[in-house]
Structure 1
Amino acid sequence: MRHGLLNGGSDRCPHWPQKRPQRTRPSETNDYAILKQQIKAAGLLESRSSYYWLKTALALATLGASAAIAVLSSVWWVLLLDAAFMGFAFTQIALLAHDIGHRQGYRGRRTNRIARAFFGNVLLGVSHSWWNDKHNQHHATPNHIDLDPDIQFPMIVFSSEQIQSRRKWLHPVIAIQAFVLLFLLPFQAANMRIISWQHLFDPKAEKPWLQAALLFAHFAAYGVLLYFIGWPMALVFALIHQGTFGLYNSSVFASNHKGMPLTHEGQRMDFLREQVLTSRNVSGHPLTDFWYGGLNYQIEHHLFPTMPRCNLRKAQPLIERFCKERGISYHSTGLFTSYREVLTHLHRESASLRGHTA
């Protein structure tokens, strides 16, 4: 399977080049420097190690509890509920791994590198270097029609002009892509594992043999867990667990950029405007903040990727006010509206394949 279904699969090699096309409005980059100075003065870029150690303890305890229930329980309905609970626990680990990848979590380069391998390869079964390469490219070129790996799908288009580059036998699928996307979300977990193994054969992969050993450790431990559950319940448990993990994890990222303005080569903006205009916030609420791992503040995260998760909520009103003062559109909407915007955009861009005008 060469193509990634979700999270940045395409005809390209899984190792994405860190290409940064020249921006077209360099005179406005001073706005970002002014904003960053204000953010730093507010202390919002300072490390919050104690917060992340607490989040680590809670995430590991949640994962441990779900594993203990799976091993000790023999009641079928408890195991089914626990499978979904483990999917939740895995996503909480993934959100923490995301923050670690941005060096938000711990002090020290070595500590962060070890944490990336532990949370990514060992706990999730995902190559940490593949994910970091792909995610860094996304941050460098958000919503770029050719360079952002998060909008390169073989069976999904985010602009009608992408249709001509897709294989014709996929056109009937693209025609109903808004519905197809919903179907694909639960498969993200499996897709990430497939691409992770492919990545290890790339000459640029970071310590591929060590990463492979850590991935084997993950799947060996998972195999032991399923052995204790017993056949055939183990198969049902695995399907529900991986599907829940894929659905929850992909749903967090689905509403952040999809359906927002695209950028093209030769039409790049300065850093501040490009990050803000291509991102969508989901309105903050303590429950939403927890569910999204802070990534509902996508604008703030893209402007300041190393900002600790717990500070994004504090930075939000400051950044929104700054953008309004400069006439920069700042888009924030509700949880369900954000998904409706994504699906409506996908349906509109594929209209020509249904015999309609987009």
Structure 2
Amino acid sequence: MREQGLLRRAYAFYAAVGAGLVLALAGCVTGFVLLGDSWFQLLIAGALGIVLTQTAFLTHEAAHKQVLASGPANERLGRWLACGVVGVSYSWWTSKHNRHHANPNQVGRDPDIDVDTISFLEEDAAKATGLLATITRRQGWLFFPLLTFEGLNLHRLGVQHLLGRGPVKARRTELTLTLVRFAVVLGALFLVLPVGMAFAFLGVQLAVFGVYMGASFAPNHKGMPVIARDVKLDFFSKQVRTSRNVRGGWWATWLMGGLNYQVEHHLFPSMPRSHLARARTLVREQCRTLDVPYTETSLWRSYVTVVRYLNEVGLAARDPFECHVLARFRPV
């Protein structure tokens, strides 16, 4: 009976989240139509970026089989939301994300610490050349500005995955949903708005989406211990030591789609968002018993940690004949 009650609570929670997202998206569409040729459309663009990020959070939870009763139903929901609403390949995301969950922050195994403009490892930073090296040297300070391009990058990576030669589950379905989604969005923008305004709308929406996504996922693991390629840890220690929680209660849970309970999410990846706060108490007690460090901080402090860590990694991209001590304290 208790288990059934918890399930009902989770289903009711996700029904409310889904209804809220539908209303928010309908509000964006209504505002877009009513405003017409107006620069106030940029407010709608920003709101749409937020709604799409919240939809991505729900997609992430569907991929973890949290939202609906069965695995296939969650997969269908996730695919429709990812490709048809957010515009990112579901199969690409789940493949990458599953590998991350299996080996968080482990060199050569976690794709989330692979170099992609930003270097998360000193050995990657040391290989940077040209413009990339210039960016890498100050990548901590540039991290959030660079996130304005992350929305476009996510779309690019998804399409690249779908058009690649490798195996893709439900390739035709994902391609169809993605193409229809882009056709509807771009068609509406360039039919209703002047060309310049349409590009501005698209730019603002993508920038807000990219910054919001990056600012929600970055605090989870960046700046936490990195596990060497050949090191083996037990599941509990590996997941807890490499993850960071963000304090804030219900508002942080809403803002970050449950990613503020990153430790609990990694230990229980199929646990619904509505139960993570309760699990936190049990996990903290177990960590004290086992003497395993449990990391939790404020959202602001997590960003400070991420920026500092990326700047320290970026030092490896400096000129080998430059004094690192002077470089570290040189004004930027």
TM-score of the aligned structures, taking structure 1 as reference length: 0.84
Q: Does the alignment pair 1:322 with 2:286?
A: yes
Q: What secondary structure is seen at the aligned counterpart in 2 of 1:296?
A: helix
How many residue pairs get matched?
A: 318
Cα separation, 1, equivalents of 2:130 and 2:105: 24
Q: Does the alignment pair 1:338 with 2:302?
A: yes
Q: What secondary structure is seen at the aligned counterpart in 1 of 2:269?
A: coil
Counterpart in the other structure of 2:225 = 261
Q: Offset at 1:76? A: 2.7
Residues 97-121 of structure 1, C-alpha deviation per residue, up to 9 Å, x if partnerless? 0000100000123321220121011
- Note if contact 2:109-2:229 (Cα within 8 Å) is conserved in structure 1: no
Q: Does the alignment pair 1:234 with 2:188?
A: no
- Note if contact 1:91-1:249 (Cα within 8 Å) is conserved in structure 2: yes
Structure 1 residues 166, 146: closer, same or farther in 2, change over 3 A?
Answer: farther
Residue type matched to 2:183 in 1? A
Counterpart in the other structure of 1:277 = 241
Counterpart in the other structure of 1:202 = 165
Larger CA deviation: 61-70 vs 174-183? 174-183
Q: Offset at 1:317? A: 1.6
Counterpart in the other structure of 2:122 = 160
- Note if contact 2:220-2:243 (Cα within 8 Å) is conserved in structure 1: yes
Q: Which has the higher contact order (CA 8 A, sep 6+)?
A: 1
Larger CA deviation: 74-83 vs 121-130? 74-83
Residue type matched to 2:97 in 1? H
For residue 306 of structure 1, the aligned residue among 270, 275, 279 is 270
Cα separation, 1, equivalents of 2:130 and 2:35: 49
Cα separation, 2, equivalents of 1:171 and 1:91: 30
For residue 97 of structure 2, the aligned residue among 135, 141, 149 is 135
Cα separation, 2, equivalents of 1:239 and 1:97: 23
The 5 A counterparts of 1:119-134 are 119-134=81-96
Cα separation, 2, equivalents of 1:104 and 1:149: 23
For residue 248 of structure 1, the aligned residue among 193, 205, 212 is 212
- Note if contact 1:44-1:315 (Cα within 8 Å) is conserved in structure 2: no
Q: Offset at 1:77? A: 4.5
The 5 A counterparts of 1:1-358 are 46=7, 48-74=10-36, 76-167=38-129, 170-200=132-162, 201-231=164-194, 232-354=196-318, 355-356=323-324
Q: Identity across aligned pairs (percent)?
A: 33
Cα separation, 1, equivalents of 2:117 and 2:185: 31
Q: Offset at 1:64? A: 1.4
Residues 275-305 of structure 1, C-alpha deviation per residue, up to 9 Å, x if partnerless? 0000111113221111001101100000000
Residue type matched to 1:317 in 2? T
Structure 1 residues 263, 42: closer, same or farther in 2, change over 3 A?
Answer: farther
Q: Any stretches of 5+ residues in structure 1 without a counterpart?
A: 1-40
Residues 33-65 of structure 1, C-alpha deviation per residue, up to 9 Å, x if partnerless? xxxxxxxx9899857222212211111111111
Q: Offset at 1:351? A: 2.3
TM-score of the aligned structures, taking structure 2 as reference length: 0.90
Q: Offset at 1:237? A: 1.1
Structure 1 residues 271, 43: closer, same or farther in 2, change over 3 A?
Answer: farther
Cα separation, 1, equivalents of 2:212 and 2:74: 25
Larger CA deviation: 151-160 vs 100-109? 151-160
Cα separation, 2, equivalents of 1:140 and 1:191: 24
Cα separation, 1, equivalents of 2:311 and 2:212: 22
Structure 1 residues 347, 57: closer, same or farther in 2, change over 3 A?
Answer: same
Larger CA deviation: 195-204 vs 242-251? 195-204
Structure 1 residues 169, 239: closer, same or farther in 2, change over 3 A?
Answer: closer
Q: Any stretches of 5+ residues in structure 2 without a counterpart?
A: none
Structure 1 residues 202, 43: closer, same or farther in 2, change over 3 A?
Answer: farther
Cα separation, 2, equivalents of 1:42 and 1:341: 39
Residues 57-90 of structure 1, C-alpha deviation per residue, up to 9 Å, x if partnerless? 1111111111111122136353121111111111
